[in-house]
Structure 1
Amino acid sequence: MAKKIMKTLATKVNAEEEKRLILLTLNDYLQGRPVIDIERLRGAFHPDAYIRTIIEGKLVQWTLSQYLDLVAKATIQECQPELLSYTWDGNTGAAHVQLTFATFRFIDRFNLVKLDGKWQIMDKISYQEEL
Protein backbone atom coordinates (compact mmCIF):
# COMPACT_ATOMS: atom_id res chain seq x y z
CA MET A 1 0.00 0.00 0.00
CA ALA A 2 1.43 3.37 -0.99
CA LYS A 3 1.75 6.04 1.66
CA LYS A 4 -0.38 9.10 1.24
CA ILE A 5 1.68 12.27 1.66
CA MET A 6 -0.13 15.03 3.48
CA LYS A 7 0.75 18.60 2.72
CA THR A 8 1.78 20.42 5.85
CA LEU A 9 1.08 24.05 6.63
CA ALA A 10 4.78 24.76 6.08
CA THR A 11 4.56 23.25 2.56
CA LYS A 12 1.49 25.34 1.75
CA VAL A 13 3.19 28.49 3.07
CA ASN A 14 6.27 27.74 0.94
CA ALA A 15 4.07 27.22 -2.13
CA GLU A 16 2.33 30.54 -1.54
CA GLU A 17 5.70 32.28 -1.17
CA GLU A 18 6.98 30.71 -4.40
CA LYS A 19 3.83 31.86 -6.22
CA ARG A 20 4.33 35.38 -4.87
CA LEU A 21 7.98 35.46 -5.97
CA ILE A 22 7.23 34.08 -9.44
CA LEU A 23 4.42 36.59 -9.92
CA LEU A 24 6.76 39.47 -8.95
CA THR A 25 9.04 38.51 -11.83
CA LEU A 26 6.24 37.91 -14.32
CA ASN A 27 4.57 41.20 -13.37
CA ASP A 28 7.85 43.05 -13.94
CA TYR A 29 7.68 41.78 -17.52
CA LEU A 30 3.92 42.18 -18.01
CA GLN A 31 3.82 45.70 -16.57
CA GLY A 32 7.25 46.84 -17.79
CA ARG A 33 7.05 45.82 -21.45
CA PRO A 34 3.93 47.83 -22.43
CA VAL A 35 5.41 51.08 -21.06
CA ILE A 36 8.97 50.26 -22.18
CA ASP A 37 10.39 50.35 -18.63
CA ILE A 38 13.80 48.94 -19.54
CA GLU A 39 15.09 48.67 -15.97
CA ARG A 40 11.98 46.82 -14.82
CA LEU A 41 12.35 44.45 -17.78
CA ARG A 42 16.06 43.96 -17.06
CA GLY A 43 15.16 42.95 -13.51
CA ALA A 44 12.78 40.25 -14.75
CA PHE A 45 15.45 38.50 -16.84
CA HIS A 46 18.61 36.61 -15.96
CA PRO A 47 21.59 38.55 -17.42
CA ASP A 48 22.45 35.56 -19.65
CA ALA A 49 18.89 35.15 -20.99
CA TYR A 50 18.18 34.62 -24.67
CA ILE A 51 15.10 35.78 -26.54
CA ARG A 52 14.07 33.79 -29.60
CA THR A 53 11.42 34.07 -32.30
CA ILE A 54 10.75 33.00 -35.87
CA ILE A 55 10.84 35.78 -38.50
CA GLU A 56 10.07 34.90 -42.12
CA GLY A 57 10.63 31.21 -41.38
CA LYS A 58 14.03 31.71 -39.75
CA LEU A 59 15.05 31.45 -36.10
CA VAL A 60 16.21 34.80 -34.75
CA GLN A 61 17.74 35.18 -31.30
CA TRP A 62 18.99 38.05 -29.20
CA THR A 63 20.95 38.38 -26.01
CA LEU A 64 19.16 40.25 -23.25
CA SER A 65 21.12 43.41 -24.05
CA GLN A 66 20.21 43.22 -27.75
CA TYR A 67 16.55 42.58 -26.92
CA LEU A 68 16.36 45.51 -24.49
CA ASP A 69 17.92 47.78 -27.14
CA LEU A 70 15.15 46.73 -29.57
CA VAL A 71 12.41 47.27 -26.98
CA ALA A 72 13.82 50.71 -26.10
CA LYS A 73 13.27 51.78 -29.74
CA ALA A 74 9.65 50.56 -29.82
CA THR A 75 6.71 52.94 -29.76
CA ILE A 76 4.54 52.86 -26.64
CA GLN A 77 1.12 51.50 -27.60
CA GLU A 78 -2.01 50.59 -25.72
CA CYS A 79 -1.51 47.02 -24.53
CA GLN A 80 -3.41 44.35 -22.62
CA PRO A 81 -0.91 42.13 -20.73
CA GLU A 82 -2.14 38.72 -19.58
CA LEU A 83 -0.65 35.87 -17.58
CA LEU A 84 -2.02 32.66 -19.13
CA SER A 85 -0.30 30.09 -16.91
CA TYR A 86 2.76 29.28 -14.84
CA THR A 87 4.23 26.32 -13.01
CA TRP A 88 7.40 25.36 -11.18
CA ASP A 89 9.30 22.43 -9.74
CA GLY A 90 12.03 23.21 -7.25
CA ASN A 91 14.17 26.00 -8.71
CA THR A 92 12.93 25.81 -12.33
CA GLY A 93 9.65 26.92 -13.81
CA ALA A 94 7.76 27.94 -16.91
CA ALA A 95 5.21 30.61 -17.81
CA HIS A 96 2.94 31.46 -20.73
CA VAL A 97 1.92 35.10 -21.23
CA GLN A 98 0.57 37.36 -23.94
CA LEU A 99 0.66 41.05 -24.73
CA THR A 100 -2.22 42.15 -26.95
CA PHE A 101 -1.81 45.38 -28.89
CA ALA A 102 -4.30 46.95 -31.34
CA THR A 103 -3.14 45.06 -34.44
CA PHE A 104 -1.03 42.17 -33.12
CA ARG A 105 -0.33 39.99 -30.10
CA PHE A 106 2.92 38.61 -28.69
CA ILE A 107 2.52 35.14 -27.22
CA ASP A 108 5.51 34.37 -25.02
CA ARG A 109 6.74 31.27 -23.26
CA PHE A 110 9.37 31.62 -20.57
CA ASN A 111 11.76 29.24 -18.84
CA LEU A 112 12.37 30.47 -15.31
CA VAL A 113 15.15 29.81 -12.80
CA LYS A 114 15.37 30.68 -9.12
CA LEU A 115 18.79 31.90 -8.04
CA ASP A 116 19.64 33.60 -4.76
CA GLY A 117 15.97 33.62 -3.75
CA LYS A 118 14.79 35.41 -6.90
CA TRP A 119 12.95 34.04 -9.94
CA GLN A 120 14.27 35.22 -13.31
CA ILE A 121 13.38 34.61 -16.94
CA MET A 122 16.19 32.52 -18.40
CA ASP A 123 14.76 32.13 -21.90
CA LYS A 124 11.90 33.65 -23.84
CA ILE A 125 10.43 32.23 -27.02
CA SER A 126 7.93 34.49 -28.70
CA TYR A 127 5.33 34.30 -31.42
CA GLN A 128 3.75 37.37 -33.03
CA GLU A 129 0.15 36.93 -34.19
CA GLU A 130 -1.51 39.50 -36.40
CA LEU A 131 -5.07 40.39 -35.35
Structure 2
Amino acid sequence: MQTPAIKVGVEDEKQLILLTLNDYLEGRPVKNMERLRAAFHPDAHIRTIMEGKLMQWTLPQYLDLVAQATLQKCQPQLLSYNWDGDTGAAQVQLTFDTFRFIDRFNLIRLEGKWQIVDKVSYREELK
Protein backbone atom coordinates (compact mmCIF):
# COMPACT_ATOMS: atom_id res chain seq x y z
CA MET A 1 0.00 0.00 0.00
CA GLN A 2 1.39 3.38 -1.00
CA THR A 3 1.39 6.25 1.41
CA PRO A 4 0.30 9.72 0.26
CA ALA A 5 3.93 10.87 0.43
CA ILE A 6 4.97 8.18 -2.05
CA LYS A 7 2.10 9.06 -4.39
CA VAL A 8 3.13 12.73 -4.33
CA GLY A 9 6.70 11.70 -5.20
CA VAL A 10 5.53 9.67 -8.19
CA GLU A 11 3.33 12.50 -9.44
CA ASP A 12 6.19 14.97 -9.00
CA GLU A 13 8.49 12.67 -10.98
CA LYS A 14 5.92 12.38 -13.77
CA GLN A 15 5.68 16.15 -13.97
CA LEU A 16 9.47 16.53 -14.17
CA ILE A 17 9.65 13.99 -17.00
CA LEU A 18 6.78 15.67 -18.83
CA LEU A 19 8.55 19.05 -18.56
CA THR A 20 11.48 17.61 -20.50
CA LEU A 21 9.31 15.81 -23.05
CA ASN A 22 7.18 18.93 -23.56
CA ASP A 23 10.30 21.01 -24.18
CA TYR A 24 10.99 18.67 -27.09
CA LEU A 25 7.38 18.28 -28.28
CA GLU A 26 6.62 21.99 -28.15
CA GLY A 27 10.07 23.25 -29.11
CA ARG A 28 10.88 21.04 -32.11
CA PRO A 29 7.86 21.85 -34.32
CA VAL A 30 8.42 25.62 -34.08
CA LYS A 31 12.22 25.45 -33.99
CA ASN A 32 12.43 26.98 -30.51
CA MET A 33 16.10 26.15 -30.04
CA GLU A 34 16.23 27.08 -26.35
CA ARG A 35 13.42 24.69 -25.43
CA LEU A 36 14.86 22.00 -27.65
CA ARG A 37 18.32 22.39 -26.13
CA ALA A 38 16.81 22.28 -22.63
CA ALA A 39 15.32 18.84 -23.32
CA PHE A 40 18.71 17.25 -24.05
CA HIS A 41 21.82 16.50 -22.05
CA PRO A 42 24.74 18.43 -23.62
CA ASP A 43 26.47 15.12 -24.49
CA ALA A 44 23.36 13.56 -26.08
CA HIS A 45 23.56 11.63 -29.33
CA ILE A 46 20.96 11.49 -32.08
CA ARG A 47 20.76 8.54 -34.48
CA THR A 48 18.68 7.48 -37.46
CA ILE A 49 18.91 5.31 -40.56
CA MET A 50 19.10 7.15 -43.90
CA GLU A 51 19.33 5.24 -47.16
CA GLY A 52 20.27 2.10 -45.24
CA LYS A 53 23.11 3.76 -43.32
CA LEU A 54 23.42 4.73 -39.67
CA MET A 55 23.62 8.50 -39.29
CA GLN A 56 24.76 10.01 -35.98
CA TRP A 57 24.97 13.55 -34.67
CA THR A 58 26.09 15.24 -31.49
CA LEU A 59 23.60 17.62 -29.92
CA PRO A 60 25.20 20.76 -31.47
CA GLN A 61 25.16 19.11 -34.92
CA TYR A 62 21.52 18.07 -34.49
CA LEU A 63 20.47 21.54 -33.34
CA ASP A 64 22.16 23.04 -36.41
CA LEU A 65 20.20 20.65 -38.66
CA VAL A 66 16.91 21.58 -36.98
CA ALA A 67 17.70 25.29 -37.23
CA GLN A 68 18.27 24.92 -40.99
CA ALA A 69 15.15 22.81 -41.62
CA THR A 70 12.11 24.31 -43.28
CA LEU A 71 9.43 25.24 -40.77
CA GLN A 72 6.38 23.03 -41.42
CA LYS A 73 3.04 22.43 -39.76
CA CYS A 74 3.51 19.61 -37.27
CA GLN A 75 1.36 17.60 -34.87
CA PRO A 76 3.48 16.44 -31.88
CA GLN A 77 2.27 13.55 -29.75
CA LEU A 78 3.57 11.78 -26.65
CA LEU A 79 3.03 8.05 -27.18
CA SER A 80 4.50 6.61 -23.98
CA TYR A 81 7.03 7.06 -21.19
CA ASN A 82 8.28 5.15 -18.16
CA TRP A 83 11.11 5.25 -15.66
CA ASP A 84 12.88 3.33 -12.93
CA GLY A 85 15.06 5.27 -10.54
CA ASP A 86 17.26 7.68 -12.47
CA THR A 87 16.66 6.23 -15.95
CA GLY A 88 13.68 6.32 -18.25
CA ALA A 89 12.45 5.94 -21.79
CA ALA A 90 9.89 7.71 -23.96
CA GLN A 91 8.39 7.42 -27.41
CA VAL A 92 7.01 10.43 -29.27
CA GLN A 93 5.73 11.16 -32.73
CA LEU A 94 5.96 14.29 -34.88
CA THR A 95 3.52 14.16 -37.79
CA PHE A 96 4.04 16.51 -40.72
CA ASP A 97 1.93 16.72 -43.90
CA THR A 98 3.86 14.08 -45.87
CA PHE A 99 5.88 12.19 -43.25
CA ARG A 100 6.22 11.47 -39.56
CA PHE A 101 9.13 10.96 -37.21
CA ILE A 102 8.82 8.32 -34.51
CA ASP A 103 11.41 9.11 -31.86
CA ARG A 104 12.57 6.92 -29.01
CA PHE A 105 14.43 8.56 -26.15
CA ASN A 106 16.62 7.31 -23.33
CA LEU A 107 16.35 9.66 -20.36
CA ILE A 108 18.42 10.23 -17.24
CA ARG A 109 17.80 12.27 -14.12
CA LEU A 110 20.76 14.36 -13.02
CA GLU A 111 20.58 16.88 -10.20
CA GLY A 112 16.79 16.60 -10.13
CA LYS A 113 16.30 17.26 -13.85
CA TRP A 114 15.34 14.75 -16.56
CA GLN A 115 17.24 15.00 -19.84
CA ILE A 116 17.31 13.10 -23.12
CA VAL A 117 20.71 11.42 -23.51
CA ASP A 118 19.96 9.37 -26.60
CA LYS A 119 17.48 9.73 -29.45
CA VAL A 120 16.82 7.19 -32.18
CA SER A 121 14.46 8.24 -34.90
CA TYR A 122 12.49 6.60 -37.68
CA ARG A 123 11.04 8.56 -40.60
CA GLU A 124 7.87 7.18 -42.13
CA GLU A 125 6.52 8.56 -45.41
CA LEU A 126 2.76 9.17 -45.40
CA LYS A 127 0.61 8.51 -48.42
> 2:18 matched to 1:23?
yes
1:37 to 32, 37, 61: 32
Which residue in 2 is equivalent to 1:117? 112
Which residue in 2 is equivalent to 1:75? 70
Cα distance per residue 1:68-92 (max 9 Å; x no partner): 0000001111100000000000110
Alpha-carbon deviation of 1:67? Answer: 0.1
Aligned length: 126
Alpha-carbon deviation of 1:39? Answer: 1.0
Structure 2 counterparts to residues 55-94 of structure 1, below 5 A: 55-94=50-89
Which residue in 2 is equivalent to 1:3? none
> 2:41 matched to 1:46?
yes
Task: List, as ranges, runs of 4+ consecutive aligned residues in structure 1 with deviation greater than 6 Å.
Answer: none
- 5+ long unaligned stretches in structure 2: none
Structure 2 distance, partners of 1:49, 1:61, is 11
Q: Secondary structure at the match of 1:20?
A: helix
Alpha-carbon deviation of 1:61? Answer: 0.4
Structure 2 distance, partners of 1:14, 1:91, is 13
Q: Secondary structure at the match of 2:70?
A: coil
Q: Secondary structure at the match of 1:105?
A: strand
Alpha-carbon deviation of 1:7? Answer: 1.1
Alpha-carbon deviation of 1:55? Answer: 0.5
Structure 2-normalised TM-score? 0.98
Structure 1-normalised TM-score? 0.95
